[in-house]
Amino acid sequence: MSSHQRVRGRYRDTEKTTSSSDSDSDIPLPSLSTKRRTGKYWTDRHATGLGNLLALSFVLWLFAKGTGFEFPFPKPSTPPSVTPKFIEEGIRQCEIINRSIPHFEPSSNKRKENDRYVKGTKPTLLKNGTLWTGEKDGHEVLYGVDILIENGLIRKIGKSKDILLSLKERKDAVEEVELNGSWVTPGIVDLHSHMGVDAAPETFGSEDTNSVKQSVMPFLRSLDGFNTHDLAFNLSISGGITTMLVLPGSADSIGGQAFPFKPRWTAENTPQSMLVEPAWKIDNGTWARTHSWRHIKHACGENPKRVYSQTRMDNAYDFRQAYTHGKELKDKQDRWCTSPKTQTEPFPTSLDWEVLSDVIRGNVKVNIHCYETTDLNSLVRISNEFQFPIAAFHHAHETYLVPELLKQAWGPPPAVAIFSTNARYKREAYRGTQFAPKILSEEGLSVIMKSDHPVLDSRYLIAEASWANHFGLNTTIALNSVTTSPAKAMGLDHRIGYLREGYDADIVIWDSFPLVLGATPKQTYIDGIKQILHPISHEKPVHAQKIPPTGKWDKEAREAVEFRGDQDLRPKKSAKNVIFQDVGEFHLSTNTFAEYDVQTFEEGKGVVIVQAGEITCVGKCSTEQTESGFEIINLKGGAITPGVITVGSKLGLVEIDQEKSTWDGVAPDPLNDGSELTNGLLIHGVDGAQFDGKNELLAYRAGVTTGVAYPKSSSWINGISFSFSPGALHPLSEGAIQSSYGALHITLDNSKTSVSTKIAILRKLLTQDQPEDAKTELTEAFDMIKDGKLVLVVKTDKADTIASLIRLKKEHASKSKITILGGLESWLVAEELAENDIGVIVAPVRSYPGDWNTKRILPSVPLSNHTLPSYLVSRGITVGLGIKEEWQAPNTMYEAAWVYANSPSGIFTKSEALDLVGKNLEKLLGLNTNKGSQTKAWVAHQGDPFSFGGKIRGVKGVGQVEIDLF
Ligand SMILES: *[C@@H]1O[C@H](CO)[C@@H](O)[C@H](O)[C@H]1NC(C)=O
Ligand SMILES: *[C@@H]1O[C@H](CO)[C@@H](O)[C@H](O)[C@H]1NC(C)=O
Ligand SMILES: *[C@@H]1O[C@H](CO)[C@@H](O)[C@H](O)[C@H]1NC(C)=O
Ligand SMILES: *[C@@H]1O[C@H](CO)[C@@H](O)[C@H](O)[C@H]1NC(C)=O
């Protein structure tokens, strides 16, 4: 059906053996002292036995001397070195704890072999690449350069001539790959992942992210819960991920120890074979501590508060108490080691606290999930009280407000590992801003973009860096943020994070400049092994190979700081008369503007005149008479496009997802609530509408002119959706509600009632005529659905469930209008959907097999030719794009651009890609289009709306006369 490559191992090179004998990172453990020991060291308990032994030896020695017979006993000048086992072991432990903190010189050609090298891997010569190496603080770009990969390492980077010379004798043994100038970067490094412990598809049996037995568990190890069958490994590799730090979850104050892994398949097929530089390893029958970094996860703020019903004060006490134990243990150990030989007790240790004493010794990278100023401050105090450095604060949505505080942490300032646009989902994330990466980097802090996979699919971690770049983080730092900077924070920058000779051959070849919107790997190498057996890529336009401009947001970033993340986002300026100059494209090809059709203009030639709120001229317009009294805006080759529609989240009903007091609430089950009053009741989402929130206003500024929301419900019958203007102040303000009675929304997957029961109920509702006295608002809605007068929007992903729905329509309700929302597996039944005229709102746009119902995704390039939307469109289905969470609403337009960039050419024109978030959604959601109201909304983009780096300058909302200007 498609060339979908998703089966683990199918696109892997065969690997024969895993490596084992790495000694790079081992500290040589000195052999035990053979110094002569005398009785005075020993305690009574030992003295008796030893005294006897010595006496006996002496007698035997005398005897032997006399007879000339040589006994196998030491001579008295070197009496027996019989150190008790516990002292020997203790001395070994002292060696380990007293060595210097891990410090590694950058690898060089001295390294002959990667310890993860798989024997039999063919050397590879990547020819004629454009390399972003990570060198010179990320400023170095090498053009027309080759890379020789050998023994799992980057052996040489240079011009082909030199490399080929060095290869003369064995040229035929080398696989040559022509890159034709493609961009090449080091592998993407993810500092915050739960891959393997929060495995896809999520099932009860595979959920091992958080232990909630108690809030302080430094002794837990993510390695112990790491599932090697996670479907995400291959998907993330196809997005360029080559190393990730797998952290325990953030439910606990101290959730446990983290481990760096590479996601590639290994022949051994075990968690330990996927580790990079583990702090311990099984070594020839011993459990040996290496000199590598250890890693630990802490969390502050709302998570431990929620999970353990505690306060922030308890959280801080948790840390103080735990670190007091760690410090006591460290002091005890240090005392023991000052004179091991006088010790009567074994070396002191503690399964519970030993890692914290190692934190205080500086051997552990401390990664702290911590959002808010108050929490950041507590942890900075605690790091000083106990004198340990913090590797990174994660999520850290308020760090941009307190850069100086971070510099007060003990030791070097922590890095900040953040999301780009994922914010406002909980109160401690509410002041988050998309400008944080820019602000923090300008404060000299190390900025790292991370996935928190599967919170964000780490396959698209590069897009986080692109978003950060779009919102003002400069290009070099944006690339560093997913390569060199996380490698440093992980303590692995001596072998990964750079394209550098002697480094692990973890390499990504891109189809465009990696920060360009939609950039996708063509191939990923890990340890020199090609990861994608049959990659598919689409030719990207020439401009996509160029380094894009960094977005200019100085004013907005300053405001975010000035108002502590609570700046007024309402439009502040508007005009009825506007002249847009240098318009590159005009996309309002709907009926309203039929006379204009889609037009493109040569540089500087396109003008659009708006007079009294109406577009009066497009193209070659004389502006001489009109200039006075007009706002003049130069779009720098940008475009006028239709307003965007968002659906799928609770935008318009919820402000902070994890704060119930900010919601409309949850609707009861109209079928089974047990109450006369609610039985058969149809909930109208519009009655819970609430506006003027950050998500709505940000969406409006991003060109979203219509939001569609349906009620949250405890049942599978959600209720009636409504559509609204995201720029509105409240539901009664003018034009706020666009349609109060949209479609009936129901949810089929994942709830207590079985899918088959739901289908049976739907069958009954769609086929039986209710007697007059049994009619309810709900049954009346189904009467309308039967007649095709009301759209039924069904949230479901699973192909089999969609199949039941198709059958239902075919057999019982052929006139009905049904739309699938979600639809991740819908491509499997595309022909049948098309035949029965059922459309799909794909949500989220980029598929991830998060649960059992979404296991069979169409993964898109480089694993499949089609994106899910392009596949469905190519089969004649009406397709729209949706989202899942409120924070995603402002990104909607760029999701359409992503689909456009990564679909096979010829499926969409740009206008058709825009219809995915416009016209098509109107049809699929049954929005009232009689008045053509939605189509009258439009957006003026400065710069290309299909690329990052631009900005929206004007929005004409639905039914508005004034154009809001930004
Ligand atoms: C390298 O690739 C560039 C870009 O495609 C091309 O112009 C150039 O001719 C190539 N050089 C060689 C030596 O193949
Ligand atoms: C492994 O340990 C055994 C027994 O201690 C020893 O004889 C052998 O040489 C060791 N092998 C390696 C490779 O170190
Ligand atoms: C990016 O910012 C850093 C630090 O502010 C600066 O050193 C560097 O030159 C900038 N790079 C570019 C390409 O602007
Ligand atoms: C990808 O899809 C397009 C459009 O359907 C088709 O023309 C092309 O041949 C396909 N390419 C591959 C590699 O399957």
pLDDT digits (tens, 9 = 90+) for 88-123: 999 999 999 999 999 898 876 678 999 999 999 999
Which ligand 3 atom minimizes the distance to the CA of 475? 13
Average pLDDT of the segment spanning 612-624: 87
Average pLDDT of the segment spanning 873-897: 98
Check residue 751 and give its pLDDT: 77
3-state SS, residue 447: strand
Check residue 257 and give its pLDDT: 98
- Of all residues in the chain, the percent with pLDDT exceeding 90 is 81
Query: For residue 418, what is the enclosing H or E element?
Result: strand 415-418
Q: Whose CA is nearest to atom 1 of ligand 3?
A: 474
Which residue's entry shows tokens 């769609």? 766
Q: Whose CA is nearest to atom 4 of ligand 4?
A: 904
Count CB neighbours of 966 within 10 A: 17
Check residue 672 and give its pLDDT: 75
CA 684 to chain centre: 35
Q: Whose CA is nearest to atom 8 of ligand 4?
A: 904
Cβ atoms of residues 921 and 841 within 8 Å? yes
- pTM here is 0.90
Q: Measure the CA–CA gap between 643 and 938, rounded to whole angstroms.
A: 4
Residue 1: nearest ligand to its CA?
4
Q: Is the CB of 180 under 6 A from ligand 1?
A: yes
Separation of 365 CA from ligand 3 center, angstroms?
27
Would the pLDDT of 60 be above 70? no
DSSP 682: -
Which ligand 1 atom minimizes the distance to the CA of 160? 13
603 confidence band (pLDDT: 50, 70, 90): confident
581 confidence band (pLDDT: 50, 70, 90): very high
Which residue's entry shows tokens 């030992």? 46
Would the pLDDT of 708 be above 70? yes
Q: Is the CB of 176 under 6 A from ligand 1?
A: no
76 confidence band (pLDDT: 50, 70, 90): low
Which ligand 2 atom minimizes the distance to the CA of 21? 13
Cβ atoms of residues 450 and 190 within 8 Å? yes
Check residue 542 and give its pLDDT: 96
80 confidence band (pLDDT: 50, 70, 90): low
Q: Within 13 Å of residue 30, how many CA atoms lie on the same side as its CB?
A: 11
Q: Measure the CA–CA gap between 840 and 827, rounded to whole angstroms.
A: 10
Mean of the per-residue pLDDT values of the chain: 90
Q: Is the CB of 181 under 6 A from ligand 1?
A: yes
Would the pLDDT of 10 be above 50? no
Check residue 26 and give its pLDDT: 32
Q: Is the CB of 591 under 6 A from ligand 1?
A: no
Question: Shortest CA distance to 699 belongs to which of 890, 419, 922?
Answer: 890
Separation of 183 CA from ligand 1 center, angstroms?
12
Maximum distance among all alpha carbons in the chain? 128
Check residue 51 and give its pLDDT: 42
Name the residue with higher pLDDT: 7 or 510. Answer: 510
Cβ atoms of residues 597 and 544 within 8 Å? no
Cβ atoms of residues 216 and 321 within 8 Å? yes
Q: Whose CA is nearest to atom 9 of ligand 2?
A: 284
Q: Whose CA is nearest to atom 12 of ligand 3?
A: 474
Check residue 768 and give its pLDDT: 84
| Strands 791-796 and 744-747, sheet pairing | parallel
Q: Which residues of 386-422 are buried (b: 16+ CB within 10 A; e: fewer)?
A: bebbbbbbbbbbbbbbbbebbeebbeebbbbbbbbbb
CATH 3.20.20.140 is right for the domain spanning 188-325+351-493: yes
Q: Measure the CA–CA gap between 836 and 826, rounded to whole angstroms.
A: 13
Check residue 77 and give its pLDDT: 62
CATH 3.20.20.140 is right for the domain spanning 644-936: yes
In the chain, CATH 3.20.20.140 covers: 188-325+351-493, 644-936
Question: Shortest CA distance to 238 belongs to which of 442, 435, 532, 506?
Answer: 532
Which ligand 1 atom minimizes the distance to the CA of 178? 14
Separation of 739 CA from ligand 4 center, angstroms?
40
Query: Could you read off the pLDDT of 479-514 as tens digits, one per residue?
Result: 999 999 999 999 999 999 999 999 999 999 999 999
Q: Whose CA is nearest to atom 12 of ligand 2?
A: 284
According to DSSP, the residues that pair with 150 across neighbouring strands are 153
Would the pLDDT of 66 be above 70? no
Q: Whose CA is nearest to atom 13 of ligand 1?
A: 128
In the chain, CATH 2.30.40 covers: 572-643+937-966
Which ligand 4 atom minimizes the distance to the CA of 874? 5
Average pLDDT of the segment spanning 75-90: 78
Check residue 159 and give its pLDDT: 85
Average pLDDT of the segment spanning 944-961: 95
Question: Shortest CA distance to 437 belongs to which of 426, 455, 421?
Answer: 421
**Which residues have CB under 8 Å from 929's CB, separation 6+?**
922, 923, 935
What is the C-alpha radius of gyration for the chain, rounded to an integer number of angstroms?
32
Write down the architecture of domain 572-643+937-966 according to CATH: Roll (2.30)
Q: Measure the CA–CA gap between 225 and 206, rounded to whole angstroms.
A: 9
Check residue 52 and give its pLDDT: 46
Cβ atoms of residues 418 and 451 within 8 Å? no
Would the pLDDT of 594 be above 60? no
Query: For residue 646, what is the enclosing H or E element?
Result: strand 644-647
Question: Shortest CA distance to 150 belongs to which of 171, 189, 120, 122?
Answer: 122
Q: Measure the CA–CA gap between 934 and 924, rounded to whole angstroms.
A: 14
Cβ atoms of residues 25 and 291 within 8 Å? yes
Cβ atoms of residues 102 and 488 within 8 Å? no
Count CB neighbours of 318 within 10 A: 22
Site to probe by mutation for ligand 4, drawn from 858, 865, 866, 875 as the one with most ligand atoms within 8 Å of Cβ, is 865
Alpha-carbon torsion, ordered 514, 537, 228, 479, to 10 deg: 0
Please provide the size of the chain in residues.
966
Q: Which residues of 894-919 are buried (b: 16+ CB within 10 A; e: fewer)?
A: bbbbbbbbbbbeebbebbbbbbbbbb
Count CB neighbours of 430 within 10 A: 21
DSSP 865: S
Would the pLDDT of 590 be above 60? no
Site to probe by mutation for ligand 1, drawn from 125, 126, 127, 128 as the one with most ligand atoms within 8 Å of Cβ, is 128
Choice among 334-348, 603-617, 940-954 with the minimum mean pLDDT? 603-617
Count CB neighbours of 41 within 10 A: 16
Check residue 126 and give its pLDDT: 97
Residue 538: nearest ligand to its CA?
4
Cβ atoms of residues 332 and 32 within 8 Å? no
Q: Measure the CA–CA gap between 708 and 626, rounded to whole angstroms.
A: 38
Q: Measure the CA–CA gap between 616 and 633, rounded to whole angstroms.
A: 16
Average pLDDT of the segment spanning 271-288: 94
According to DSSP, the residues that pair with 739 across neighbouring strands are 723
3-state SS, residue 635: strand
589 confidence band (pLDDT: 50, 70, 90): low
- Of all residues in the chain, the percent with pLDDT exceeding 70 is 88
Q: Measure the CA–CA gap between 278 and 258, rounded to whole angstroms.
A: 10
Which amino acid, residue 460? Y
Cβ atoms of residues 917 and 911 within 8 Å? no
Check residue 627 and give its pLDDT: 66
Which residue's entry shows tokens 């009861």? 668
Could you give phi then psi for residue 183, rounded to 5 degrees?
-70, 140
Q: Whose CA is nearest to atom 2 of ligand 4?
A: 904
Would the pLDDT of 807 be above 70? yes
Check residue 49 and give its pLDDT: 40
Q: Whose CA is nearest to atom 7 of ligand 2?
A: 284
Question: Shortest CA distance to 686 belongs to which of 711, 665, 669?
Answer: 711
Q: Within 13 Å of residue 948, how many CA atoms lie on the same side as its CB?
A: 31
936 confidence band (pLDDT: 50, 70, 90): confident
CA 617 to chain centre: 44
Check residue 687 and give its pLDDT: 97
Q: Is 341 left (phi over 0), alpha (psi -120 to 50) or beta?
A: alpha
Q: Measure the CA–CA gap between 743 and 820, rounded to whole angstroms.
A: 12
Distances, alpha carbon 862 to alpha carbons 236, 456, 874, in Å: 11, 19, 19
Check residue 107 and give its pLDDT: 79
Q: Is the CB of 284 under 6 A from ligand 2?
A: yes
Q: Measure the CA–CA gap between 588 and 597, rounded to whole angstroms.
A: 7
According to DSSP, the residues that pair with 365 across neighbouring strands are 295
Average pLDDT of the segment spanning 922-933: 74
Q: Measure the CA–CA gap between 852 and 38, rounded to whole angstroms.
A: 68
Query: Could you read off the pLDDT of 207-228 as tens digits, one per residue?
Result: 999 999 999 999 999 999 999 9
Average pLDDT of the segment spanning 878-898: 98
According to DSSP, the residues that pair with 395 across neighbouring strands are 370
- For CA atoms 557, 560, 565, 571, give the dihedral sign: negative
Residue 288: nearest ligand to its CA?
2
DSSP string, 381-405: HHHHHHT----EEEE-TTGGG-HHH
Helix-helix angle 85-98:312-338, to 10 degrees: 120
Separation of 172 CA from ligand 3 center, angstroms?
43
Check residue 59 and give its pLDDT: 44
Separation of 283 CA from ligand 2 center, angstroms?
9
According to DSSP, the residues that pair with 275 across neighbouring strands are 261
Q: Whose CA is nearest to atom 10 of ligand 2?
A: 284
Which amino acid, residue 450? K
CA 892 to chain centre: 17
Residue 863: nearest ligand to its CA?
4
Encoded tokens for 431 = 């002041």
Distances, alpha carbon 517 to alpha carbons 27, 354, 468, 509, 897, in Å: 45, 46, 12, 16, 8
Separation of 285 CA from ligand 2 center, angstroms?
8
Cβ atoms of residues 667 and 718 within 8 Å? yes
Query: Could you read off the pLDDT of 229-246 as tens digits, one per residue?
Result: 999 999 999 999 999 999
Average pLDDT of the segment spanning 278-293: 92
- For CA atoms 295, 300, 306, 308, give the dihedral sign: positive
Q: Is the CB of 447 under 6 A from ligand 3?
A: no
Check residue 931 and give its pLDDT: 52
Average pLDDT of the segment spanning 604-616: 89
